[in-house]
A and B are shown apart, each in its own frame.
Chain A
Amino acid sequence: MRVSVKWLSEYLDLSSVSPRDLADEITLTGIEVDDVTIPSETLQKLVVGEVLTAEKMEGSDHLNVTTVNVGEDEATQIVCGAPNVKAGQKVIVALPGARLPGGFKIKKSKLRGHVSNGMICSLDELGFSDSVVPKHAEDGIYILPEDAVVGESVLSYVGLDDAFIELDITPNRADALSMRGVAHETGAILSQKPQFKSIELTEDTNETIENWVKVTVTDGDDTPIYKMRVIKDLTIKESPLWLQNKLMNAGIRPIDAVVDVTNYIMLEYGQPLHAFDYDALDSKDILVRRAHDKETMVTLDGQERQLNPDQLVITNGEIPVALAGVMGGENTHVTTETRTVALESAVFDSTSIRKTAQRLNLRSESSSRFEKGINKATVEEALNHAAALIADLGQGTVVTGVASVTHVEPKSVTVESTIDRINRALGTELIEEDIIQVFKRLGFEAEVSSEQVKVTVPPRRWDIAIEADIIEEIARIYGYNNIPSTLPVNETVPGELTREQSLTRFSRHYMEGAGLSQAISYALTTVPEAKAFSLESGEPIELDWPMSEEHRALRKSLISGLLDNVQYNVARQTKNVSLYEIGHVFHNQPGETMPKEVNHIAGVLTGTIVDNTWQETEQTVDYYAAKGIVEGWLEQIGLGDDTQFKPAQDIKGMHPGRTAYILINNKVVGFVGQLHPSVALERDLQDTVLFELNMDCVFGIEQEPLLYTSIPKYPGTSRDIAFVVDETVLHEEILHVMKEQGGKWLSSIRLFDLYQGEKIEPGKKSVAYSLSYLNPDATLKEEDVNGDFEKLKQALIDSFKAEIR
């Protein structure tokens, strides 16, 4: 809502407050101010000029050379490109030195050899949007009235000798979508009671409404109030300048006096009105009903609309003549031929209007007011005011009486509270006097006794209904900045992270310690990316109405997003990328309302893990780098011993020979591996390794409480063993046999050499392990483990045909 301070001062005395200070007050007490504009601060050296001569410039198809009297001793020459410039016109002249919106500065110039001392302006050049200037002023310069005084500042002629406060009105404060509402609000801030002039409506006593129109409403819930007046013998003209300016400055295009009055009244009262061409209605019976299914009508924008029974229509008893509250019909709109106007002022059900406006994509100033609510107390007052004004501007007369159907009466609402409850809610120590003062400023009746507070809220503030609403009014008018600052006093136990939360934090720190940076990617992605790399089968969850293919489906894996990030980095010369992400993935759960939403952790590494330095030689990432990160993580969580890795040849997008499932207690919780070379190629990546685990699953594994084991008091001993086996024998299989068959004192096993190559048979590999033995209760001597060691050797021979070396 763009509020003209000049208009507002018709109701309040604003002489002692500057527009900016007023805006600050409004922001702090009531409604957020988006912007304050004071045109005179920027628009200078704009004067009324009189075009004395205007001649086509030779050799140009559109330029005119004019002489203009701008109130100086001599007429000045200005080159003007507008097609409509003519001698005798009063026009807007921007003199050299003038500044126009957008910082545009006017200078003396020469156009094709002709001196131009300024510019003759259109409204557009003064900052009015194309959509608000009158149609006839759209192309070309703006013509001022004949009585405009040459040499005077032009601002008052276009209503820019004003200040404008742009209010950002929240849905609950629809009462402030009107100048009267803003006046009440501002009055409360300034402790002034707004003054509204009473309307003088002269009715034609020879004509009564019953002979002209009768209104019927099929459903009082849909249309709680419907009122109509008739104004006859009109001449439809342009509206006077003051009215046009008020509309333009509020962002509404002037059309003709009738339409302009309906808009003007809407701005003043917040009451949308609609004017019908009475003769075009072709009926004396107005019926407001739901549309029939597939009924059609042509709205005044020329579009044929197909309707349905959710939508309310105004009919002439047979066919729709307007979409209630949203848009009029083409067949009945006011034209220059109109002589008699039927003027509607009503209240429609907000939900119905909202649905209609939404479905037909027809949001307007009027529909949005119906959606947010109407002051039921001024439906008729607004109608009367409009009728009087239309009659006045069009030299017509108003038929006596109002055709009216009323299912609701405007009612004041009584809300009760106590001083104690108010103070307990706000943390204040307000007394009777303070509270009386607040409601006096708001213009609400209030009875405040030592205990009870009883407030009568007028219908113009239909947002107020419950105690909390009253408390809010007190808080804001008393001033939030006058409320003290305290902290809740209650039993406080320290907040605690849950096990999952603290493990998540640990996981982040671990990954960062391992050199990976945290990424946060979009959860919405393309359908193929959403399901790629997911160990869960099934289609991803798709949005009902996506904005783009790019963000259509919910990810089932974090990998695609991370790969996108890696690709983005690599394409920008960051060759070494290590990222991890923790986030939700989403799986459809047929038969359940909610999808399965799981916390995952994933990481991707490409490029080097060790750079070439003066001291170190470069190491590029490999499978084992990723695996090491995962192993370390699981080990720190305490699951190292329960973890197994098994070759995974079937994960799409992964290298079949370099990928493993990660199993904890024999259950797959994720995978680690190298990106398939052809996928890497598609994404323009070098060797890239990655991992992804179901974090909920990992954190959910029950663990024994951590207990201290005593530090060994006695020395142990160790043995090394080297042997040759088939290359297909897995390290984990060897480990398994060693652990099973290694004897009770075998405490740890470490692979320290792995060789494949010329020196041994093809298809074989040579491995060497170091075995540590420990007896917690006694010193172990070499000979104590001889037996165990021999047994282990034999087990390796039996299991793998190992050739011990």
Chain B
Amino acid sequence: MRLRVCVQCGFDAAPVEAGDGTPWPVLGSHVEGRRPILLEQTLPADEGARRFLGRDDEGARYEIFAVVGTDPQGALAARRRAHEALPLASFPPDRTVNAGALRFTVTHLPEGSERVPEIIARLAELDAADPVEIIKRFGVPVVRLFAELHDRGVFLSQQDPDELVVSGDRCRFLRPPEPHPVADGPVAPGLRRVPFGFGAPELHGLCGGRIDPRADVFFAGAVLYYLLARIPPLEEAGDAMDRLPSPTVYRDDLPPGVVAVVRRATSPVPARRYPDCRALRTALDIALASEDARRQAARRRLGLKLGHELHIGVLKGQYAPQNQDDLFVAYDARNGVGLFLVSDGVSISEHGSGDIASECVRIEAHRLWQDLPREEAGDGAPRPTLPAERDARRGLLQATLDRANARIGELIHRDMPRFPGPPEGIMAATAVAALLDGNRVTLCSIGDSRIYLIRDGHITSLLPYHDLCTQLIRMRRATPRVARAAPAAAALIRCVGEFEKDGDDRLVPVPLQPEFRELTLLPGDSLVLCSDGIPDYAGFDDEHAEARICQTVETAPGAPWAAFELMVLANRGGGGDNISCIVLRFEEQEGES
């Protein structure tokens, strides 16, 4: 018997003939029956069987399972038993067809059925599709399927997205899965096939290698991740050391609550994921409901509690006496208009210093607040107002950052009217800003400072960072693994302090390119604007740090207390960088419900 290596299933040799010399069906051939079915695609199968996807002349889709007529290993019977054990997890077999020595089991797939990889591949082309609708239509059925399995006290130790079919609001497996009872405990590491991009680290034998329902959580989370990011599955998914980059790196304006759920579900550390898919389903439902509420919320004022802290950092202060962070806080409670800004000066600069750069940003923020149009109010004091148009609000922030950039240039020019060499090594700063107007906020970021949204025990970083690693991933120039290993991966590629030179060697400010985002706020939301001194030192890694930030803000009795606790948290973790943060906690306006 001639053997060949099977690429589909990995390492098994696939005989081209069944044991008794009967040739297996090949692609392009037909299975005869009431309607001939054209075999279009091969599916992985166990030894002694073959599987195909096919289509009849009316376009209906089928899964075809073929064994030799005697079926000595009872493959057909085993398959039926598996389906009957978990009928909700797979499609019922439709009919049996005998053709010579072969027996086919034909399973009809409902109209509109799409396999998960096909959906993900197709979504990459749908730029305009609403991410919330995509999650509801394709992601929720997948999560619901695994939640049902976990409800029944079983989990899967070997998942395959190729086997998952979404049809309407249901999702099922093409082949009845092999479940493991949760009561039997975790499955030990061993030889198994792991799908690229969907396999939890423990399936690879990492993180202790013990497989439990959390592996299913990772799988369902990975499906949601690709639906949100609309990228092909990442080979490094399941790498124990690094988590997947936030989907917001790939696409703007993703629903923050759903992003937070997906990030927690795809954590490389099993203990940080949801314990099972029931919890994942609950969290996803809450996040989707919050997103619906954001979309339906009318413009109104919310109550705001705010706190802020600025600290040099206990370790940083030992060798650098200047605090290079700065912040600006202004809020008019009468009409709910506010401006909040955190700026982090870049430590290493040959011309000027980071504290001066961040001060420039703060001064311009102050100027913006002072220059906002005012309207007379009943109490006699004019109130600041913001333009209703999104682009106009963004323009205000853009102009502020550009003016800060120009101010830095003027300071350098004062010392060096003719700038020698290329315009590098000039003092610079990052900036994150929030322009609040009632329950609507315009967010802006340049550099690697952070804006977090905290809600319902979940935390999301709302805007991507301008470091080299993130930008390489964002521009699809490198996979996350390659980007993280790039030299100077943490180097800032955008900040306030970017210049060109004209013909007279004078510094000319470059128009900055910050990230913007609009967000409708709900009572119960908390926003944290902070420099990287907090997430870099608040935990064992960035995921742990974010979890601790979330917990700290949610459990603190008030916003000032939360800001203080964040500062303490970063100092307890080392305090190796300057620390600045603004905590905004939004509540129902008194008198409203």
Q: Decide whether A and B assemble into one complex.
A: no
